[in-house]
Structure 1
Amino acid sequence: MKTRLNAAAHAKDAYAAFVSLDRFVRQSGLPDSTYELVKLRVSQINGCGYCVDLHSHEMRNAGETHQRLFSVGAWREAPWFTDAERAALALAEEGTRLADRGETTPDEVWQEAAKHYDRATLSALVIAIATINGLNRIGVTTRMTPGSHRTR
């Protein structure tokens, strides 16, 4: 599979906006490990091979365990995620699978996330979910090549 278009090179201002959103989330108080788990899980759901590859390597380089990395897709059954991480992953799945259910995010998912994150951090989590979904759509549409981030 060959990348169709390097959107970052041809839409620099748009990519700068994504970088700004990432910077906002990183400074928000949302734990980095939670942010990375959300990015990986959303990318898995969206089938963005480039992003799955990128985020799993970044997480491993940051010290994430293989055990947790290999279990992100089955986080409900794996015992090594905190309650706060589980709440973030549940919200991320709901915010990603919008067309699958045809309704708003269930109250119980929202309320569980709100138990673990204050309003500012919860807002950052919602922004994080929207941001990675946007980036995944660019990656999938343009067929960004997994592993190409390591060859630049």
Structure 2
Amino acid sequence: MERITYQDIPEGMFQHLITIEEFIKTSGLEQNLLELLRLRISQINGCAYCVDMHYKELKHTNENELRLSSLAVWKETPYFTDKERAALNFAEELTALSNAPIQNNIYNTIETFFSKKEISFLSLAVTQINTWNRLMKTFLFTPGKYKVTS
């Protein structure tokens, strides 16, 4: 059962978060890559609602089922490009923050595939899905009800 329903959420809260999502869409980053990151981070954070949502979004884009089912173990598979691997590694590191800055080897690898502007947008996208995950884990929105709209 939901702790906080959509109707209970303060007016404007989701709209401001959606504005950030729209800003991320202007980044020029591949939407499929962003969705892969969102799904992986949601898996790490154990957010059932967001896992359901981003799995469905990726299926809607005809993402390969083998890649979807292997995302949780992406490091052990050959199904992801070097660019995707760099982004996934960066996203995981940024999600599981420690008291230290992002490791140089991880940053240097991401820098070989992405510009500083793109790294800025990747960082924002990672923090954004972490925010959504934390909200959904607090509110307990029911997974399985999400419908792809576009």
Pair 1:107–1:54, CA change in 2 (3 A): same
Q: Is 1:66 the counterpart of 2:65 in the alignment?
A: yes
Moved beyond 3 Å, runs of 4+:
none
What are structure 2's unaligned runs of at least 5 residues? none
| 1:9, distance to aligned residue in structure 2 (A) | 5.3
Aligned to 1:142: 139
Aligned to 1:109: 106
Q: Secondary structure at the match of 2:77?
A: coil
What are structure 1's unaligned runs of at least 5 residues? none
Aligned to 1:28: 27
Q: Secondary structure at the match of 2:12?
A: helix
TM-score (norm 2): 0.92
CA shift digits 1:4-45 (9 cap, x unpaired):
112575223121121111111111011111100100010001
Aligned to 2:118: 121
One-letter code aligned to 1:148: K
One-letter code aligned to 1:57: K
TM-score (norm 1): 0.91
- Quick one: distance in 1 between partners of 2:111 and 2:7? 34
The number of equivalent residue pairs is 147
Query: What RMSD, in angstroms, separates the aligned Cα atoms of the two structures?
Result: 1.3
| 1:148, distance to aligned residue in structure 2 (A) | 2.2
Mapped contact 1:35–1:128 kept (Cα < 8 A):
yes
Pair 1:8–1:106, CA change in 2 (3 A): farther
One-letter code aligned to 2:90: L
